[in-house]
Amino acid sequence: METLYTLLTFVVLFGLIAIPYWRRVARHKREAAEKFDKSQRMGIQAPITLHPHFDLTSCIGCASCVRVCPEHVLGIVRGRPAIINGSKCVGHGLCADVCPVGAITLGFGTPRQGMEIPYYDDHYETNVRGVYIIGELGGMGLIRNAVTQGVKAIEHVASARRAKQLDDLDVVIVGAGPAGLAAALAAQEKSLRYVVLEQEEIGGTILHYPRQKLVLTQPVELPLFGKLKFTEVTKEDLLRVWQEIVGRFHLNIVTGQKVESIHEAGGRMLVRTLTAEFRTANVLLALGRRGSPRKLGVTGENLSKVMYRLIEAESYKQKHILVVGGGDSAVEAAIGLASQVGNMVTVSYRKEEFVRLKEKNERKVKEFTDSGKLSVLFNSQVLEIKPDAVVVQSSGNIVHNLANDFVFIFAGGELPTELLKKCGIKMRTTEIEAQAVAA
């Protein structure tokens, strides 16, 4: 009797632990399959940067890769690993590190759809002599890679000793993200005459990370400064370190200067912004892949009430606001603005539903639209922006004339391809395996 009682207790205890566990596992599998199917349907499965490729013949389905991914990019779908949140992949490669059977490699594009990246050689020099491409613009993500490439490119610039004319710079570095900043340190260490031109502020893509985002990186050696030792650091602390470095070594950086053209004339390169021209022997392009905000190209877009970034939602109260776009940035801005007193916020999105949203944003946007705090016009496009109104067309050719004080446009970024093409840099569409960058 006692044995039976013990057995029954064991079975009940086992059930209490095992059933919720199995349910959780089943729920995760179901959710992963749903996300995977949705991203396949929308054609957004492959991340634009470096991302995992799986060798399914070696994979043992242990899900170590899924558990280790800090961005929750991977899931097990019908017994196999798959990318279920492609837009969130930043190419850390932790998945490849932990795979016990080496079934993961990092690469670009997909077997069916390649990715367009610029041509450059082992020294990061493009087909245009003296013009280099470093960092994420070359297709390889991650801060450490950007830093390493910046330093190596400058080493080549210094050793090539390209002939320059009196008063010309040795190198113009375009972009003050991790690649450009590391290149500036290397240039300073080598006593090269250089300038960094940055269209926004110092920091590059890191400036645009969400507040308090934990940045995962590997220690990396910076010229003059020494080792950047951390493996985990908040966005704010990392930016503070960069600022300190810029100040301590008096790096020659000019912000608010967007480079519009680069061309060769009389044996030197001419780099032009809207307000200045720089003569140089070499150019390092460290533009990243965010590019410049994509414009809608509609009448009235040049009005000062039109913006491409929201800094302080709290500054907007009792206003009529249109937010254009359907990604996380657009939705987060819309929610932030709709939370302020008296704002009437409308989102205009060209697709029939939101497809790339973080779960938190998906939940919030539903809550806000259900409660009437936010209106969303799907399948819609802006026709015109007027000083006090916006004209938006939605499905069935319905035209909305909305009262408007501000327009925020989050329509993605224009790839810097135009600038590269103007420089004569060749592009290649390719699916290539990542090559580890020797530190």
Ligand X SMILES: Cc1cc2nc3c(=O)[nH]c(=O)nc-3n(C[C@H](O)[C@H](O)[C@H](O)COP(=O)(O)OP(=O)(O)OC[C@H]3O[C@@H](n4cnc5c(N)ncnc54)[C@H](O)[C@@H]3O)c2cc1C
Residue 366 DSSP class: H
Contact window for ligand X (CB under 6 A) among 4-12, 195-203, 336-344, 359-367: 195-203
Choose, by CB under 6 A, the member of 39, 45, 148, 217 that binds ligand X. Answer: 217
Torsion from C-alpha of 27, 32, 34, 36, nearest 10 degrees: -170
Q: Where are the beta strands (DSSP E) in 122-273?
A: 131-133, 169-174, 194-198, 214-216, 220-222, 226-228, 232-234, 253-255, 259-265, 268-273
Residues 261-300 that bind ligand X (CB under 6 A): 286-288, 290
Residues 192, 259, 269, 425: which binds ligand X (CB under 6 A)? 259
Site for ligand X (CB under 6 A): which residue of 135, 139, 223, 325?
135
Site string for ligand X, 374-403 (x = CB under 6 A): ------------------------------
Collapse the DSSP code of 182 into the 3-class scheme (helix H, G, I; strand E, B; otherwise coil) and give the result: helix
310, 336 Cβ separation under 8 angstroms: yes
Cα Rg for the chain, rounded, in angstroms? 25
Write the CB contacts of 65 (distance below 8 Å, at least 6 apart in sequence): 52, 74, 81, 95, 96, 98, 99, 104
Token couple for 301: 């877009």
The nearer residue to ligand X, 80 or 272, going by C-beta atoms, is 272
Among 416, 420, 423, 434, binds ligand X (CB under 6 A): 416
Q: Is 176 in the site for ligand X (CB under 6 A)?
A: yes
Binding to ligand X by residue 407, rule CB under 6 A?
A: no
Q: Answer yes or no: are the C-beta atoms of 368 and 335 closer than 8 Å.
A: yes
Order of all β-strands in the sheet with 374-377: 306-307, 406-409, 320-324, 344-348, 374-377
125 binds ligand X (CB under 6 A): no
CB of 137 to ligand X, least distance (A): 6
Q: Where are the beta strands (DSSP E) in 58-189?
A: 74-77, 80-83, 104-107, 115-118, 131-133, 169-174
User: Does 143 engage in binding with ligand X (CB under 6 A)?
Assistant: yes
Residue 143 or 377 with smaller CB distance to ligand X: 143
Q: Interface with ligand X includes 142 (CB under 6 A)? A: yes
Instruction: Please say which residue, 77 or 233, places its beta carbon nearer to ligand X.
Output: 233
Q: Which stretch binds ligand X (CB under 6 A): 56-64, 168-176, 185-193, 313-321?
A: 168-176
Q: Which two tokens stand for residue 377?
A: 């016009």
| Residue 180 interacts with ligand X (CB under 6 A): yes or no | yes
| Neighbour count for residue 62 (Cβ, 10 Å) | 15
Instruction: Quote the least distance from Cβ 59 to ligand X, whole Å.
Output: 25
Residue 209 CB, nearest approach to ligand X (Å):
5
Specify the residue, 197 or 281, whose C-beta has the smaller distance to ligand X: 197
**What tokens appear for 215 in the block?**
């940045």
Among 95, 153, 179, 222, binds ligand X (CB under 6 A): 179
Provide, rounded to whole angstroms, the least separation between the CB of residue 263 and ligand X: 14
Which residues lie near ligand X (CB under 6 A)? 90, 135-137, 141-144, 146, 174-180, 197-200, 204-206, 209, 215-217, 258-259, 286-288, 290, 416, 419
